[in-house]
Structure 1
Amino acid sequence: MKRALTLATGMGVGYVVGTRAGREKYDRMKLKVHEVSQQPAVAGIRENLQERVETASKSVAGKVTDVASGLTKKLHSSSHDEEPSAPVVPAPEASDEFPAAPTTGIVPDGDAV
């Protein structure tokens, strides 16, 4: 059902965007889509999906909040309670010399620079 709905939506959008059928055909197609969307079976499916999405979004939002607060607590407690696990080593000083070019095995002509 989901795939069929996605396919129909894609075909409808492609038709509208990809053709120059004119306003009359567009209006007829829009009217037909409206008629189909108002049928009781389709309206029931739409309401069911809306309820599922709302329930799932609330559940996910709660889980994300819980995970984020747990991570925040771990970060704060670990930064105040523990010593760093590895010593901090400073970066080497930059040198003015470039590293040697890799050898490619290609020998330039005598005239080439």
Structure 2
Amino acid sequence: MKRALTLATGAAVGYVAGTRAGREKYERMKLRVHAVGRQPAVVDLRENLQERAQTATKTVSKAVAGKVTEATSELAKKVKERSHGAEPSTPVVPAPETADEYPPAPTGIVPDDGAV
């Protein structure tokens, strides 16, 4: 029990000391990053990269839209070609006119004669 208490106390002291030191280093690093981000060369680079990204996005979206349009029109042509003059894949059976013409509903009971 004494070992567990000593271990827990040491862990707690180490945690508190580490978080304080870690927080101070984090704050210093954050200030440095903000200072670098405000430098004119970095600001110009960021703006240049944003413009390039916007231009690339517009170019790619136009190209993709063109390809989608092409693929859609080709698919529509294929569907038209197959549907003209082709027999339907599933035969169309008209519905019975009276209720007596419907087949009996399955009961799930197997006949005794052994025919399955």
Normalised TM-score (structure 2): 0.52
CA distance in 2 between partners of 1:62 and 1:42 (Å): 30
Normalised TM-score (structure 1): 0.53
Q: Could you give the per-residue CA deviations for residues 81-108 of structure 1, whole angstroms, max 9, x where no partner exists?
A: 248xxxxxxxxxxxxxxxxxxxxxxxxx
SS at match of 1:22: helix
Q: CA deviation at 1:22?
A: 1.4
Q: Which residue of 1 aligns with 2:71?
A: 71
Could you tell me which runs of 5 or more consecutive residues in structure 2 were left unpaired when the two chains were aligned. Answer: 1-17, 84-116
Greater per-residue helix proportion: 2
CA distance in 2 between partners of 1:81 and 1:41 (Å): 60
Runs of 4+ in 1 over 3 A off after TM superposition: none
Could you tell me which runs of 5 or more consecutive residues in structure 1 were left unpaired when the two chains were aligned. Answer: 1-18, 84-113
Over the matched positions of the two proteins, sequence identity in percent amounts to 48
Count, aligned residues: 65
Q: CA deviation at 1:34?
A: 0.6
* RMSD (Å) for aligned C-alpha atoms: 1.8
Q: Which protein has greater RCO, CA pairs closer than 8 Å, 6+ apart?
A: 1
